[in-house]
Homo-oligomer: A and B are copies of this chain.
Amino acid sequence: MELFGVIAATLTTISFLPQTLKTIKDKDTSGISLGMYSIFTTGVFCWTIYGFIIGDLPIIIANVVTFIFALTILVMKLKYK
């Protein structure tokens, strides 16, 4: 993966950290879309499987990390509806 790809993957992966921390802290999920996090979490799970299929470690790592963040936000959304 080229440097620009590594920067891109790092940014899109770590971007979910501030949202996860904010949601855990504020428990404010009214503006968060259940549809988005249901579809997104499923999509990131598919990316992880795809990473295993093609044997690409950066894809696996980036998506496992994003999956943990997205699933946490999804669970908070379901918990604090």
Q: Which residues of A contact B (CB under 8 A)?
A: 2, 4-5, 7-19, 22-23, 26, 28-40, 42-44, 46-47, 49-50, 53-54
Can you give 16 contacting A-B residue pairs, CB < 8 Å?
Answer: A8-B43, A8-B49, A9-B47, A11-B39, A11-B43, A12-B44, A15-B36, A15-B40, A16-B36, A18-B34, A18-B36, A18-B39, A19-B32, A19-B33, A19-B35, A29-B31
Residues on the B chain within 8 Å of A13, using CB: 43
Q: Work out how many copies of this chain go into the complex.
A: 2
Cβ of A43 and Cβ of B12 under 8 Å apart? yes
Of all chain B residues, which has the CB nearest A18? B35
- C-alpha gap A54/B8 in the complex (Å): 13
